[in-house]
Structure 1
Amino acid sequence: MSSTPPRSALLALLTALALVLGLGATTVGAANAATAGAPAAAPSAGKPDFHLPFACGTTWQLDTWGHDPALDIVKEGNPGSDGLPVYASAPGTVSAVYWNDGSGNTIQINHGNGWFTAYYHLQEAPDAYVKVGRQVTGATQIGRVGKSGAAGDWAHLHYEQRYLASGTFTDESHRRPVHFGGVEYSGAGRQWASVTSGNCATPQTAPYQPWNCPNGFVCFYAQTGGRGAVCKTDGNVPASTCGLRGSFFNNGNPEAGADHAYVSFKEGGTSCLHHGWWEGRGDFAAGGRTIKAVTWGGECAAAR
């Protein structure tokens, strides 16, 4: 659905096409200008105030590639987007969660007035975070950026805004130009290299963000809610002086029999952190405890 060729190959193809049509290379270059400003077209009357489906203040790269008016979205500069959280881009109701060979793990949200959004290539099963009928807002995480389906080996979010006056399920024939914050991002072969998310229903200091705890690590925060100074480890630790109030376990590469973390405390007791962003988060009791040891092991047992 949105498997993307290298940009160099795309430019070469467009240049060749331009020569056949008698256009100049300058015309092709202009059509693909990465820094060209977004069109000034206003959204249709009744269209929701959509925002980038990512945390407030984060910056992203948008490409239409070969499927305008849909967008492929990666972190600005594409340093690696795999596993980053995806939020609903406006309030609505989850209308469909499904697998497709092209779009992979896919979610559709009904935002009312005939408007829908679609999110492709999500990392986990499409119902891992939300179910059909779930009411969502911009603060609701619906999944994580992935490369399921026909995304190739390139983690990105394929995103669409759709319009269908009646019904609860849409397809690609219902796509419309994408607007974020009232600004249109559309046009064949275009790129916007740095667009800041205005989805400020998501807290700027939201707890347990993956970029605060790298894949393969277990992190311990000095304050509640995954905030404050952090101690982290990527292996068994015989002792630690980290004062513990919050925790986040983000092993992005699970290994059978060794993808959970057991934490024992100087004050007594043990807690187990499960693999994965969704289930591997949680505050321990407020007031702070001192970590005695961290041991990686298999599935969390009832007691250990």
Structure 2
Amino acid sequence: MSSTRLRTARLRFALLAFLTALGLALGLGAATAGAAGSGTATASAPAAAPPAGKPAFQLPFACGTKWRLDTWGHNPALDIVKEGNPGSDGLPVYASAPGTVSAAYWDDGSGNTLQISHGNGWFTAYYHLQEAPTAYVTVGSQVTGATQIGRVGKSGGANNWAHLHYEQRYLASGTFTDETHRRPVHFGGAEYSGAERTWASVTSGNCAQPQTAPYQPWNCPNGSVCFFSETGGRGTVCKTDRNVPASTCGLRKSFFNNGHPQAGVDHAYVSFTEGGTSCLHHGWADGRGDFAAGGRTIRSVTWGGECP
């Protein structure tokens, strides 16, 4: 994707946001302002079904999160950012469906790039990832929708705009595809395709399995305390927003309440099967709570007031 096209996409995004706000101020709908002012059609109910044999692809993001999809000038590919485009940089990217990593490479245009083969000739491609394409997976890695494959970034020709350029491709034979093999994108069985189209808020249905995640605040919902089972804050995430008298969640790292104060549940007391207790609180700006090194098993979690 050329830097000129990316600059054009970013200008369109800014213009669409401005015209949407102006339309709202005039009592017009956001979709009307976007379509009339920018030439971008805002779609809300895609209906076209995927072809027979196509995998049941889902948005490559955490279950329940909301995203903005744009075809801009490279339909049927998509540029994807967080709903409203705030803070997309660094958000985790997951595989769209089970498959095998077939290519991981750097390209001056697409930056840190991954391709995944999903069988029956179907592939997905992920551009502009933040870290090296082998930071989370390598060629030959088996992945599912629960597998983090990277993070949203702005590598290569992304022109300092953090977003995921995403494609679904079809090639009956072979392990490597290119942009000539692109096909209309489907998520959850609905088609997101068409020249110059926008879907302002699409919810990820990538919910089949618990998703592994790095130790970052966006992985812990507001009002919850989250415990990560492996070193570095990876592995199974155990979450609770209430008192839990017993748990088998092994602990390495944790997040509390995503850094947001919440009356009555600003602190969580944690006791361990191996003995001892600790207290998590939102006091740090990012809501982080580190326990002592080494895995321990949580015996109970009690929500309360101030930590002693």
Is TM more than 0.5 here?
A: yes
Q: What residue number does 2:248 align with?
A: none
For 2:306, the equivalent position in structure 1 comes to: none
Deviation per CA, 1:206-248: give whole Å up to 9, x if none.
684541579xxxxx857864634745999xxxxx9975879xx
Structure 1 unaligned runs (5+)? Answer: 12-24, 215-219, 235-239, 247-260, 266-270, 272-282, 289-304
Aligned to 2:41: 33
Matched, 1:68 2:79: no
Task: Give a deviation string over 1:18-60, Cα, whole Å, max 9, x none.
Answer: xxxxxxx9996695232x2344322111111111011111111
- SS of the equivalent of 1:173 reads helix
Q: Report percent identity of matched pairs.
A: 71
Distance 1:115 1:287 in 2: 42
Cα deviation digits, residues 80-101 of structure 1 (max 9, x gap): 1111111110111110000000
SS in 2 for 1:6: helix
Q: Which runs of 5+ in 2 are unaligned?
A: 17-32, 230-236, 242-254, 260-266, 273-277, 279-287, 300-308
TM-score by length of 1: 0.66
Matches within 5 A, 1:61-140: 61-140=68-147
SS of alignment partner, residue 108 of structure 1: strand
Superposed CA offset, 1:123-143 (max 9, x none): 110011111111111111111
Q: How many residues align?
A: 238
- Which letter does structure 2 place at the counterpart of 1:143? G
Per-residue CA deviation, residues 257-296 of structure 1 (Å, 9 max, x unaligned), is: xxxx9x785xxxxx3xxxxxxxxxxx732258xxxxxxxx
In 2, the alpha carbon distance for the partners of 1:184 and 1:66 equals 17
Give the structure 2 partner of residue 58 of structure 1.
65
Partner of 2:305: none
| In 1: Cα distance, 2:91 partner to 2:214 partner | 13
Alignment partner, residue 284 of structure 1:
295
1:5 matched to 2:13? The reply is: no
After superposition, the Cα gap between the structure-2 partners of 1:109 and 1:78, relative to the gap in structure 1 and judged at 3 Å, is same
- Summarize the Cα distance change of 1:184–1:221 in structure 2 as closer, same or farther, 3 Å threshold: closer
Cα 1:57–1:205, aligned 2, differ >3 Å: closer, same or farther? farther
Paired residues for 1:93-242 under 5 Å? 93-203=100-210, 208-212=215-219, 225=237, 227-228=239-240, 230=255
Select the structure that is richer in helix.
2
Q: Distance in 1 between matches of 2:197 and 2:49?
A: 18
> Would you say the 8 A contact 1:56–1:202 is kept in 2?
no
What is the root-mean-square deviation of aligned Cα atoms in Å? 3.9
With normalisation by structure 2, the TM-score equals: 0.66
Distance 1:30 1:112, change over 3 A: same
